[in-house]
Amino acid sequence: MQTLPVIDFHAFAPDGRRGSDAARQDIADAIGTACRENGFFLLANHGLKAPVIEAAFTQAARFFDLPIAQKQEINIEKSACHRGWFGHGQEVLDGETQSQGDDKEGLKIGRDLATDHPQVKAGMALHGPNQWPSEAAGGAAFKAAMQAIYQDCEALSRQLMQAFALSLGLQASHFDPWLQLPMATLAPLRYPPMREEDVLGAGAHTDFGCLTLLLQCDEAGLEVRSPHGEWMAIPASREHLVVNIGDMMARWTNDRYASTRHRVVNRSGKTRHSMAYFFDPDATADLSPLPNCLREGEGRHYEDATALEHLLMKIEQSFEYRQER
């Protein structure tokens, strides 16, 4: 794996344009090949608007530049539904080799559900309101920018799910019943320049959910593990999105599609900003193997689980405060 494939998504653009069925199937087939081989690809003509992306990065940088006391006002440990700011070392993605945690700070921004929403009133885990910065910390502009990029990423992710379905020989709408209230999370992230060789910005891990969109600025740092066990550095690009599948898609396909280990090593000598959007299905989605993904006589690689059960297990492994609760 010398480089990631670049896939032109023009026929699936989420702005209302639609290519021919043949063009969409060609794109889906290319995505299927990428998912079987390494689980990562670059997406061109994705439809996300540059001004919306730039506004989100600008507001994220302004937030991260705030004094720690102001960021602590929305510390993730104050949230009942895993939303808010977390500091260096709070997220531990590779506890075996980096027990001190990741050298980064970030935010978890989810679907903003009011306290009177039925699922929030029922106490469903990971469902509830976001924590937003105060007005003194520029909260209004921050909230508007994050909601705009969140909505655009959701629209793109829904189109990608159609492409994934077609790549598996299913109807494009196959996943739609499980995407009524998807558990999607936007995560602006900031990595300092690498300070010690064995302390990484993000330890080696696979993503927890269904698919991930990664938006990057100018500083690289993402490294993807090849099938041969080598780490491949992925250049930063404002033109392309990095897309990868996570553990839920691996479960759905019984590992036909690869959930690939990756990490962040910021060797740029500069602060690195990125923004990850994790798109996961409804809480009650059944992660049993999809049609066409379990051959006759083949055993299932995973036990039964819903999307929420799987996600909770992964989050509790990565955040100590969740374990304490």
Question: How do residues 34-81 score in pLDDT, each as one tens digit?
Answer: 999 999 999 999 999 999 999 999 999 999 999 999 999 999 999 999
Task: Give residue 44's domain range.
Answer: 6-324
pLDDT at 16 over 70: no
At 118 the pLDDT is 97
Q: What is the mean pLDDT of residues 210-234?
A: 94
Number of C-alpha atoms within 13 angstroms, CB side, residue 296?
A: 0
pLDDT at 227 over 90: no
In a domain, 1, yes or no: no
| Overall domain count for the chain | 1
At 30 the pLDDT is 98
d(CA 57, CA 115): 28
In a domain, 226, yes or no: yes
Q: What is the mean pLDDT of residues 295-305?
A: 91
Q: Which residue has the higher pLDDT, 222 or 19?
A: 222
At 15 the pLDDT is 58
Residue 243: which pLDDT band, with cuts at 50, 70 and 90? very high
In a domain, 161, yes or no: yes
CATH number at residue 73: 2.60.120.330
In a domain, 17, yes or no: yes
In a domain, 97, yes or no: yes
Q: What percent of the chain has pLDDT over 70?
A: 98
CB neighbour list of residue 248: distance below 8 Å, 6 or more residues apart: 208, 209, 210, 280, 281, 287, 307, 310
pLDDT at 17 over 70: no
In a domain, 77, yes or no: yes
d(CA 256, CA 260): 12
In a domain, 281, yes or no: yes
Residue 1: which pLDDT band, with cuts at 50, 70 and 90? very low
Q: 180-193 pLDDT, tens per residue? A: 999 999 999 999 99
Q: 115-164 pLDDT, tens per residue? A: 999 999 999 999 999 999 999 889 999 999 999 999 999 999 999 999 99
The predicted model scores a pTM of: 0.96
At 233 the pLDDT is 94
